[in-house]
Amino acid sequence: MATLNSYVNIDEVEREAKKDYIDRHSPFVYCQDSGTKGEKFPVKVVVGKEYTHPDDFDHYIAEVKLFDGETQIAGSCHFAGQNGGQGEKGNLEVVFNVVPQKNMKLRALAYCTKHGIWQSDEVKVAVA
């Protein structure tokens, strides 16, 4: 079974290398804090906030998924390396458009081909 890693506040981490490692693998969920039932609701997921992830042939973010609680609510986005494995760095970004029916507790998962699965903090969305 794969290890599930979580973001740690990098302001509280002493070593720069560890800050880099944690941040570059962690997905971050960005959206409004409220939405309307039955209407399209955009949710942006960005992998890495302050540090960028490499994009090599054997080390890249391969997949991002969006969950509401335990239920996957958006199709997986699969990547074969953003820049064709040219070794460039970039913050992977994807926008999921969901149609909420109830309040949501959003969480994203990102899969790194070398360092496993990373999960975001939970983001609560009120749906009226």
Q: What is the CATH number of the domain that holds 79?
A: 2.60.40.730
Q: CA 73, CA 108: separation in Å to the nearest integer?
A: 10
Is residue 68 a contact partner of residue 124, using CB atoms and an 8 Å limit? no
How far apart CA 60 and CA 87 sit, in angstroms, is 9
pLDDT for 10 equals 58
Instruction: For residues 11 and 18, give the distance between their C-alpha atoms in angstroms, rounded to a whole number.
Output: 11
- pLDDT top residue among 85 and 73: 73
List, for residues 26-79, the tens digit of each pLDDT value: 999 999 999 999 999 999 999 988 888 878 778 888 899 999 999 999 878 777
List the domain range (segments joined by +) for residue 52. Answer: 4-127
Backbone angles phi, psi at 17, to 5 degrees: -60, -40
The two structure tokens encoding residue 61: 């973010």
> How many structural domains comprise the chain?
1
For range 103-127, the mean pLDDT: 94
Task: State mean pLDDT over 77-96.
Answer: 67
Query: Is residue 92 over pLDDT 60?
Result: yes
pLDDT at 1: 44
End-to-end distance of the chain based on CA atoms, in angstroms?
38
